[in-house]
A and B are shown apart, each in its own frame.
Chain A
Amino acid sequence: MEVTFWGVRGSIPAPGPGTVRYGGNTACVSIRTAAGALLVLDCGTGARNLGLALLGDDGAAGVGGGFGAGTGEAAILLSHTHWDHIQGFPFFGPLYVEGNRFQIYGPAESSALLEGILEGQMAPQYFPVQTLKNMGARIDIAALSAGTTREILGCRVTAAMNPHGRSGAMAFRIEELGGSERRSVVYASDAGYPPEGPPAEVLALYAGADLLIHDSTFTPDDRARYPHRGLASVSEAVQAAVRARAGKLALFHYDQDYTDAEVDALVERARHELARSGATTELRPAVEGETISV
């Protein structure tokens, strides 16, 4: 599986000279499976660049998939519907090409409610397109419950809920079916753990992941300063990866006020803490535009 980061920032896009190395776009990650299927994790502003790549506008090779011609198909998994995880959705170009098909999954009490939330973002006071129905692609929306497993585009997708805000944020484990070795990617953005760490069912979801993409919004000091924001420190990310025996840990969802130098310091701290733990987990800070092979 090829995992590409299109947006790695939390809360709000942070353009400016201070964020050009790690990137200022909000959360969006794509997974291209060995079989060629496309799964998109969250739709922050990074989704715009993913869309451009899929439509071939930036000349990037190898991502294709028929989205320009209206024969593309992808699944979009939403961890939750805070703005920084859906604000790129209206700017995701392949949604405007008739014939493309999208399955959208996310946490909500019902599929109709999830659709209503996405419709709310498109409403005429906020966006000129006014409704999902004007976008062109076929969009099927389904609510997911924590603890469920579902087969999506040749992958086994399991969901668990992390504490975050009023209704939590969903973490996903994605395993490609078929082939001899079952590779796994876990996406855990926006994880506001209690002091004792991740809930048991969440740790079980992380267990043995080849790649764990984990919320690393804060330094431990800032985490303590903003406990109500429900976001993890880099140390909590390291501890989760060590306890889960993850193969690789991708730091993700950096605070909007952190400059590249401050993210460098987060990464250094993680490197140091990982080394001290004796774990074999490899550290891969998420960088906009970079791909990790799993």
Chain B
Amino acid sequence: MRVRFWGVRGSLPVPGRKTERYGGNTSCVEVRSQAGTRVIIDAGTGIRRLGQELMREEFEGGRGTAHLLISHTHWDHIQGLPFFAPLHQAGNHLYVYARRRDDLHLRAVFASQTGDPYFPTSIEEAKADISFRELADSAEFEIGDVTVACARLNHPYVATAYRLSVDGASVAYVSDTAPFSDILFENQFIPRPPLGRMPLGESDRSKLREMRDGVIRLCEGADLVIYDTMFTPEDYEKFPHYGHSRPRDALDVCRVAGARRLVLFHHAPERSDSEVDAILDATRAEAQRSRLSFGLDAAFEGLDLELGPGAPQGERLGRLGGGERGAGSGP
């Protein structure tokens, strides 16, 4: 199993010198099995470059199939889709998966994104074949040789975490989510932090416990966990109602789940490269203090990981990739 990062940022793309090393594109991760099954998780702006790369392969001749798992449909997770080149080649197939909602059909979310007056060409007019598949919170299904499991996350309007297993390896993608402690996010808008951090009612606490258990099950023994760590502890103090986690929350889940590697993901738009470096250093120190032995890195565009029994062992995370920086280089 190969996992490649095309967009690692949250909220909105942030071009510029300050984000050159980790990258400014919004969320997009590619997972490919040895047999060639292609799964893409989220369609932030990073998917544009992935699409260009796929067009050098069988997608150019209209013989490609890809599966797109959407964590949720906030902009930073779908805004690149209209620029995914394989959509504009007849013969290609794209299967789009996301959580089923009572209020809105998945197809309508994308039709409205790409319709007048927001975008010149509707996804309904795309030349490729596009199918939408709506998922239950705890769905489990197969995509070719890849097994997919889902878990519900704690995020405004609700997001889904995915675990993909194939080739004797597994990766869990946990983005976006708040910790499972202070606020239960469902569909309502939460304008400000709860006053004086009022204790939660029993029903909310039990829902959060259940959600946390679900995420831990999803990450259990995973070779790699990709986790929303957008917030520093200071950010979280100020914005607990925004629905994002801190590195310590990811460490906690990975520890309990016995995961082997953690990649910090969904970096805040304001975070410069050196600030991401500092967060990574601090998180590694915290992991060491807690005697956690798993590999730890911060996602960057071009990070390319080989997982499973055949993969190179014992190397530090994240130095296998090619990407624009050239093979073997890190951010």
Q: Which residues of A contact B (CB under 8 A)?
A: 9, 11-20, 23-25, 45, 48, 80-83, 86-88, 90-91, 108, 117, 120-121, 124-131, 134, 165-167, 229-230, 256, 288
CB <8 Å contact, A20 and B324: no
Of the 9-residue stretches B113-121, B200-208, B252-260, B304-312, which lies at the interface with chain A?
B113-121
Within 8 A of A (CB), among B101-116: 101, 104, 109, 112-113, 116
A166 to B109, CA, bound (A): 21
The tally of CB-CB contacts under 8 A between chains A and B is 121
Min CB distance, A189 to chain B, in Å? 14
Contacts A126-B73, A128-B157, A129-B189 given; indicate if A230 touches B120 (C-beta within 8 A).
yes
Please pick, from A11, A17, A117, the residue contacting B324 in the complex, using a CB distance under 8 A: A17
Please pick, from A16, A23, A83, A108, the residue contacting B118 in the complex, using a CB distance under 8 A: A83
The residue among B13, B83, B156 with the most chain A CB atoms within 10 A of its own CB is: B13
Chain B contacts of A129 at CB under 8 A? 189
A91 to B9, CA, bound (A): 15
Min CB distance, B302 to chain A, in Å? 10
The verdict on B12 contacting chain A, using a C-beta distance below 8 Å, is: yes
> In this complex, what residue of A is CB-closest to B191?
A134
Chain A contacts of B242 at CB under 8 A? 128
Within 8 A of A (CB), among B165-198: 187, 189, 191
CB <8 Å contact, A165 and B74: no
Chain A contacts of B83 at CB under 8 A? 11-12, 256
The verdict on B154 contacting chain A, using a C-beta distance below 8 Å, is: no
> In this complex, what residue of B is CB-closest to A133?
B189
What is the 8 Å Cβ interface bit string for chain B, positions 1-43, against chain A (1 contact, 0 not)?
0000000010111111101100111000000000000000000
CB <8 Å contact, A127 and B74: yes
Please pick, from B45, B156, B243, the residue contacting A13 in the complex, using a CB distance under 8 A: B45
Chain B contacts of A124 at CB under 8 A? 156-157, 187, 189
What is the 8 Å Cβ interface bit string for chain B, positions 225-257, against chain A (1 contact, 0 not)?
000000000000000001100000000000000
Chain A contacts of B14 at CB under 8 A? 13, 15, 45, 48
> In this complex, what residue of B is CB-closest to A165?
B120
CB <8 Å contact, B118 and A127: no
> In this complex, what residue of B is CB-closest to A91?
B12
The verdict on B48 contacting chain A, using a C-beta distance below 8 Å, is: yes
> In this complex, what residue of B is CB-closest to A88?
B12
Contacts A24-B16, A45-B13, A83-B118 given; indicate if A12 touches B157 (C-beta within 8 A).
no
- With A91-B11, A124-B156 given, can you name 14 additional A-B contacts, CB distance below 8 Å? A11-B83, A12-B45, A12-B79, A15-B25, A16-B20, A20-B20, A24-B13, A25-B16, A45-B14, A81-B118, A88-B12, A124-B189, A167-B117, A230-B120
Please pick, from A83, A91, A128, the residue contacting B74 in the complex, using a CB distance under 8 A: A128
Contacts A82-B117, A130-B189 given; indicate if A125 touches B16 (C-beta within 8 A).
no
A292 to B189, CA, bound (A): 41
Please pick, from A88, A125, A166, the residue contacting B117 in the complex, using a CB distance under 8 A: A166
A169 to B189, CA, bound (A): 33
A83 to B80, CA, bound (A): 11
A288 to B15, CA, bound (A): 10
Contacts A120-B112, A125-B104 given; indicate if A20 touches B17 (C-beta within 8 A).
yes
CB <8 Å contact, A15 and B120: no
Chain B contacts of A230 at CB under 8 A? 120
27 A–B contact pairs at CB < 8 A? A13-B24, A15-B15, A15-B25, A18-B324, A19-B15, A23-B16, A24-B15, A25-B16, A45-B12, A45-B13, A48-B269, A82-B119, A91-B11, A108-B117, A120-B112, A120-B118, A121-B118, A124-B156, A125-B101, A126-B73, A126-B75, A127-B75, A128-B74, A128-B156, A130-B189, A166-B120, A230-B120
Min CB distance, B102 to chain A, in Å? 12
What is the 8 Å Cβ interface bit string for chain B, positions 66-98, against chain A (1 contact, 0 not)?
000000011100111001000000000000000
Please pick, from A13, A17, A120, A229, the residue contacting B20 in the complex, using a CB distance under 8 A: A17
Contacts A16-B324, A126-B75 given; indicate if A82 touches B118 (C-beta within 8 A).
yes
> In this complex, what residue of A is CB-closest to B77?
A126
> In this complex, what residue of B is CB-closest to A17?
B20
Contacts A13-B45, A20-B20 given; indicate if A128 touches B243 (C-beta within 8 A).
yes
Contacts A80-B117, A120-B118, A125-B157 given; indicate if A15 touches B19 (C-beta within 8 A).
yes
Q: Which 5 A-B pairs have the closest CB atoms?
A: A24-B15, A15-B24, A15-B15, A13-B13, A128-B156
Min CB distance, B26 to chain A, in Å? 9
A128 to B228, CA, bound (A): 16
> In this complex, what residue of A is CB-closest to B9?
A15
A128 to B104, CA, bound (A): 16
What is the 8 Å Cβ interface bit string for chain B, positions 301-331, against chain A (1 contact, 0 not)?
1000000000000000000000010000000
CB <8 Å contact, A87 and B12: yes
CB <8 Å contact, B120 and A126: no
The residue among A13, A121, A125, A229 with the most chain B CB atoms within 10 A of its own CB is: A125
> In this complex, what residue of A is CB-closest to B75?
A126
> In this complex, what residue of A is CB-closest to B156?
A128
Contacts A127-B75, A166-B117 given; indicate if A16 touches B15 (C-beta within 8 A).
yes
A121 to B16, CA, bound (A): 25
Please pick, from B73, B119, B156, B243, the residue contacting A83 in the complex, using a CB distance under 8 A: B119
> In this complex, what residue of B is CB-closest to A106?
B117
Chain B contacts of A86 at CB under 8 A? 118
